[in-house]
Homo-oligomer: A and B are copies of this chain.
Amino acid sequence: MFSQKVIENLSRSSWIRAMFEEGEKLRKIHGPDKVFDFTLGNPDPEPPKGVKEALNNLVLEEKPGMHRYMNNAGYPDVREKLANQIKQESGVEVTLENIIMTCGAAGGLNVVLKTILNPDDEVIIFAPFFAEYTFYIDNHGGKVVVVPTNMSTFEPDLEAFKNAITPRTKAVIINSPNNPTGVVYSEEVLKKMAEVLESKENEFSTTVFVISDEPYVKLVYDGVKVPSVLKIFKNSVVVNSYSKSLALPGERIGYIAVNPAIKDVALFTAGMIFCNRTLGYVNAPALFQKVIAEALDETVDAEIYRERRDMLYNHLTNLGFECIKPQGAFYLFPKSPIADDVEFIRRAVNYNLLLVPGKGFGCPGYFRISYCVSLETIKNSLPAFEALAKEFIK
């Protein structure tokens, strides 16, 4: 009666719902302040002041026609402003013709994949990965190829990457700063990846697109710089979102920026604009296109997240958890003290701690902590982590 694939995928992800329901139950029993929910990547800070001002001004101004359809690629003036910013930041000659406004990064990724994938084309992702990638790739008939990362750095394993590329490889998705590890890929590793790709593209006479999913690019700590993917990879497409950097996830606003050096870039862009329309997004929400154009220099205060990271990271490593110190995003990805991460997560619920197993990111034996909760909540959760450590770590 329904799509078999959808029903199967539903049941595969039903433990997330089960976890959510568990949380609701616990909140009812113990009170919401006694339950430490680290499961969701839903930014809790409010949008920066500049965003609120831009929104207020636009709404009060009531410019006629501001809620109408525009070009499926988005408003030209918004795309031009954005292109200038990207050009300045990357040094790549991006123009408005290379920009498509999208329904967040999720919409943008679907648009790119739909435009490039033929049946059974392969898309490489690196474990641990954001689990939604597997659905996005499957939506458009692609095959997911998972490549491991180096477990001591969570950066792509270059040898494994090289061996995974076949004549059917159409794209590689990279995500740095990374969800779930918080790791930022170094320029050195990215440049080596570019070399590997170039040699494989020559060997197979193919084009392999590097799709860079960058919603956390402005959320970095300790002065870390995120290398420009547009600069390093010729066949690169950046997909970005203001969900995290401007704390606007509910409003669904993001963009695609295409490297102008790609062969047939005009046809590629026309194809993506067509897919933005026919996949049913039609265009990125009108009002928030204008809002972000007025607030391009704004970012939520990354210090808020850094404080949380430090408190959690220091506490957990003191307790004996093994964990790479994140350089960006708002996640920690410690090693589970027992091999079975799902079992570990279940037992953590006994301490009112809600976590996500690494299995959900293609990386069993680890777990994810999302620090989209107040410093207060984190402080209150520390004894719970301590009790958990006592149970599992000698």
Contacts of A278 in B (CB 8 A): 9, 132, 135-136, 139
For the complex of A and B, list the 9 residue pairs with the smallest distance between their C-beta atoms, beginning with the closest.
Answer: A250-B286, A106-B280, A135-B278, A110-B280, A107-B280, A42-B69, A59-B59, A69-B249, A285-B285
A286 CB to closest chain B CB, in angstroms? Answer: 3
A211 CB to closest chain B CB, in angstroms? Answer: 13
Contacts of A311 in B (CB 8 A): none
This chain: how many copies in the complex?
2
A67 touches B271 (CB 8 A): no
Contacts of A67 in B (CB 8 A): 47, 247-251
With an 8 A cutoff between CB atoms, is A60 at the interface? yes
A169 to B287, CA, bound (A): 40
* Contact-residue bracket for chain A: 35 or more
CB nearest neighbor in B for A108? B280
Query: Looking at A104, A207, A251, which has the most chain B CB atoms within 10 Å of its CB?
Result: A251
CB nearest neighbor in B for A275? B6
Contacts of A283 in B (CB 8 A): 250, 252
Interface residue ranges, A against B (CB under 8 Å)? 1-7, 9-10, 13, 40, 42-44, 46-47, 52, 55-56, 59-60, 62, 64-70, 103-104, 106-111, 114-118, 132, 135-136, 139-140, 207, 247-252, 263-264, 267-268, 270-271, 274-275, 277-283, 285-288
Query: Looking at A47, A69, A283, A285, which has the most chain B CB atoms within 10 Å of its CB?
Result: A285
A118 to B275, CA, bound (A): 21
Given contacts A13-B274, A115-B6, contact A106 B282 (CB under 8 A): yes
B274 touches A252 (CB 8 A): no
A81 CB to closest chain B CB, in angstroms? Answer: 18
A2 to B247, CA, bound (A): 34
A177 CB to closest chain B CB, in angstroms? Answer: 19
Contacts of A251 in B (CB 8 A): 67, 285-287
Given contacts A103-B103, A103-B281, A280-B103, contact A274 B6 (CB under 8 A): yes
A9 touches B274 (CB 8 A): yes
B68 touches A279 (CB 8 A): no
A8 CB to closest chain B CB, in angstroms? Answer: 10
Quick one: which of B1, B44, B249, B268 contacts A2, CB cutoff 8 A? B268
A247 to B268, CA, bound (A): 32
Contacts of A59 in B (CB 8 A): 55-56, 59
A142 CB to closest chain B CB, in angstroms? Answer: 10
A75 CB to closest chain B CB, in angstroms? Answer: 9
Given contacts A104-B280, A252-B283, contact A3 B274 (CB under 8 A): no
Query: Looking at A6, A140, A282, which has the most chain B CB atoms within 10 Å of its CB?
Result: A6
CB nearest neighbor in B for A64? B46
A264 touches B10 (CB 8 A): no
CB nearest neighbor in B for A14? B270
A137 to B385, CA, bound (A): 49
27 residue pairs bridging A and B, Cβ less than 8 Å apart: A1-B207, A1-B263, A1-B268, A2-B115, A2-B116, A2-B271, A3-B118, A6-B114, A7-B267, A7-B271, A42-B68, A52-B62, A66-B250, A67-B247, A67-B251, A70-B250, A104-B282, A106-B280, A107-B280, A135-B278, A139-B278, A250-B283, A250-B285, A252-B283, A280-B281, A285-B285, A285-B288
Contacts of A55 in B (CB 8 A): 59
Quick one: which of B139, B264, B267 contacts A279, CB cutoff 8 A? B139
A176 CB to closest chain B CB, in angstroms? Answer: 20
Contacts of A68 in B (CB 8 A): 42-44, 247, 249-250
A286 to B253, CA, bound (A): 11
Contacts of A281 in B (CB 8 A): 103, 106-107, 252, 280-281
Contacts of A248 in B (CB 8 A): 67
